Structure 1
Amino acid sequence: MFDGFSLSGPATVHVSGDRIVRVDRTGALPADGSEVIDLGRSACLLPGLIDTHVHLAFDAGPDPVTSLAATSDSNLLAHMRAAARSALLAGITTVRDLGDRGYLSLALVEEMAEHPEQGPEILPAGPPLTTPGGHCHFLGGEVEGVEALRAAVREHHARGCAVIKIMASGGNMTPDSLPPHASQYGPEDLRAVVDEAHRLGLPVAAHAHGVQAIRDAVEAGVDSLEHVTFLTADGIASETADLIDAIVRTGTFVSLTLGLDPSKALQPPKGMAAHVNAILDTYSNLHKHGANVVIGSDAGIGPWKPHNVLPHGVADLARLGVAPLDALISMTSLAARLCRVEGRKGRITAGADADILVVNGDVEHDPAAVLDVQAVFRAGIRVC
């Protein structure tokens, strides 16, 4: 069984408008004259995929930060539309945008609500909260001090954001900012953001590479940790059992930035190349110890991260010893729980949104089958 749908045997999904109304596992055709789309015996129906970490504003080029700075808001919005469409055609029917410029993703939310066939449902964070001159400060979310952070959370909520993104540690894409292993915000700052966001009903996603930033974010009660590379000044931390235990115990989600386009040469950020294998070992340990693992591709940050890259994450997880079905659950029903769209997304069941990915093959035994897209339905509309 695949969380809400059987992978073997005949089945008929009955759709009315934008919702699934019934799933018939006998394979009997409707007798009421409804339109029937026969997808063939080799078709496998999956819930639309959910990417928990994208940047629609980044162009997946060799220097997305410079490109962003040179692009007007109107042209950037056009690029974001194209990026969203690219994701949808790969079967990604929901994305959590964890950092745009000037709340542009909110304009797309309105557009997609009117025309869902044009792109995935977008759960926007707006400009991520970061320190003055900090990681991704160019997106416009610079803020410092507990009261200012609380006010920033309230502003994001008032504008309609679905999640709060905070840069708990430094990063790789921002010149002259703190390195990824260094903390940008302290425990008091993180607790203030979490308290204010949760009071308003919003989850918090923390960009966290460094060990201390991860520890502080877990203790503050963030909903998801992004990247989670366990970096120190000297490399990847070797003694992480207690912190992994804390992540598992608290139920904190870990959004692993997996999924690479194999046709593009991987160019790890400076200082990270030597640690790729150690990071993958850590990801494997998180899964083995029972952490809530989802995949957030970080689409847009480079040529190896195009906006349709998430399905490659199934094979990436499989190489870490994760069963293909577990990998698919990490980007469907489990991701839906993190994104607070559980019940609507991530399952093929009565009452859920009619967001459906149809692939050719047996994904239970062949992770690559998820790349063989036969059809995509968004809100009941066939888009390819």
Structure 2
Amino acid sequence: MMPFAIHAGLMFDGTSVSGPTTVFLEDGRITGVDTSGALPPEGVALADLGADAFLMPGLIDPHTHLGFDAGPDPVTSFTTAGDAELLAWMRIAAGRALHAGVTTVRDLGDRNYLALTLGTESDRHPGSGPEILAAGPPITTPGGHCHFMGGAAEGAAALRDAVRDRHERGCAVVKIMLSGGLMTPGSAPHEAQYSLADLRIVVDEAHRLGLPVAAHAHGTPAIRDALTAGVDSIEHATFMTADGVDADPALLAAIAESDVFVSLTTGIAPGDSTPVLPPEVAKRVRAVHEAFRNLYERGARIVRGTDAGIAQLKPHDVLPYAIAQSTADGPSPLEALVAATGLAAEACGVADRKGRIAVGTDADLLVVTGNPLDDLDRLRDVRAVFRAGVRVR
């Protein structure tokens, strides 16, 4: 790829904002960042995106499901589709995310490792979709949450084998369903599915092999076990009980004092109608957000995943909505942008090359019209997206 440069009136580099900036790209990487306002040297092609353009790292979604179609019954669609049909849908979902400026996603649950297949395609053709950090089928109990993805494992030997299989296949993360979930009949979100001893087996084996562990955990006991076992990220963290929410202050403090990432997945894209949440979610919304605000106030390392695909309110371009909505829980607009770029890159283990605009990092870039720090809804006014230096819109 020939070297070229892009220029914008404002630039957010993953931590702070500067004025007029020119960024130089070559072979999918950033080779220079000039904040002096000077034009590039003669012979370097320049795309001037305008004085009102806001240049930033591409967004990172640390919790998505490309195999779910964000339709009225995503589980049935998922389970009845053949692999070829499901992969075709996943290509569409990935493209929708990329066109919204989401240049990296962590897929935390697929079937037959199709997200790995799609990730290879995306790496070969960067304009087709975001970089995909795949978990493969989540490890779950027989008949447990999302067992239909094919990741059921029980007993020490089977759990170790499950981790090793994901490592051998090239997964970027191990996902374990530590609690139940609403999408699986007979599964209770507030109940733990694995013992602390079982979880430790998974965490120890994954860490021995150099893989992080993302733990799906809704109920307070599961969240406590996730923290005790040393998982790398706690997904959802809604502190659900059988009939409400129990955000134990001591547990909140322990989470904030640890290095664990908390990936919250509450963002929705309302579309043209008033959003309707499932009753089991709606009755807990206020208490859940109070827990989130408490975590923010204590300084927990919080990122925003989306769970994209699991419901009609969560299409695969929902992340910009989730970022804007996150400020209701406490972060400033700047903190919300950091969480969706640099901090999310850390949570996904790719901070050495993602989430920043700096020499040597991947040329994954989003350009929007106007300053999102004044109005985070500007994240949806996309002017350009670059994935590995390829302009996709």
CA distance in 1, matches of 2:111, 2:279: 25
CA distance in 2, matches of 1:244, 1:57: 32
> Alignment length, in residue pairs?
382
Aligned twin of 1:44: 54
Contact 1:284 1:320 in 2 (8 A): yes
SS of the aligned residue for 1:212 comes to helix
Letter in 2 for 1:148: A
Letter in 2 for 1:75: E
SS of the aligned residue for 1:191 comes to helix
Contact 2:63 2:305 in 1 (8 A): yes
CA-CA distance at 1:145 after TM superposition: 1.0
CA distance in 1, matches of 2:141, 2:30: 44
**Corresponding position: 1:77 with 2:90:** no
TM-score normalised per structure 2:
0.95
1:216-295 alignment runs, 5 A limit: 216-238=225-247, 240-263=248-271, 264-295=273-304
CA distance in 2, matches of 1:11, 1:364: 17
SS of the aligned residue for 1:36 comes to strand
CA-CA distance at 1:2 after TM superposition: 4.2
CA distance in 1, matches of 2:157, 2:323: 41
Contact 1:5 1:349 in 2 (8 A): no
**Corresponding position: 1:209 with 2:218:** yes
CA distance in 1, matches of 2:389, 2:39: 18
CA distance in 2, matches of 1:249, 1:222: 14
Q: CA RMSD in A?
A: 1.3
SS of the aligned residue for 1:143 comes to coil
CA-CA distance at 1:371 after TM superposition: 1.1
1:1-384 alignment runs, 5 A limit: 2-4=12-14, 7-177=17-187, 179-238=188-247, 240-263=248-271, 264-384=273-393
SS of the aligned residue for 2:352 comes to coil
Contact 1:168 1:185 in 2 (8 A): yes
After superposition, give the CA deviation of every residue in 1:39-82 in whole Å (9 maximum; x if it has no partner): 00000001000000000000000110011122111010000000
SS of the aligned residue for 2:190 comes to coil
Letter in 2 for 1:53: H
Unaligned 5+ runs, structure 1: none
Unaligned 5+ runs, structure 2: 1-10
CA distance in 1, matches of 2:23, 2:44: 12
CA distance in 2, matches of 1:5, 1:339: 17
CA distance in 1, matches of 2:186, 2:221: 21
Letter in 2 for 1:250: S
CA distance in 2, matches of 1:321, 1:6: 19
CA distance in 2, matches of 1:187, 1:354: 41
My pick for the range that moved more, 143-152 or 264-273, is: 264-273
CA distance in 2, matches of 1:119, 1:378: 8
CA-CA distance at 1:320 after TM superposition: 2.2
Contact 1:99 1:126 in 2 (8 A): yes
TM-score normalised per structure 1:
0.97
CA-CA distance at 1:363 after TM superposition: 1.3
Contact 2:15 2:338 in 1 (8 A): no
Q: Which runs of 4+ in 1 moved over 6 A?
A: none
SS of the aligned residue for 1:23 comes to strand
CA distance in 2, matches of 1:63, 1:88: 24
Letter in 2 for 1:303: Q
Contact 1:318 1:367 in 2 (8 A): no
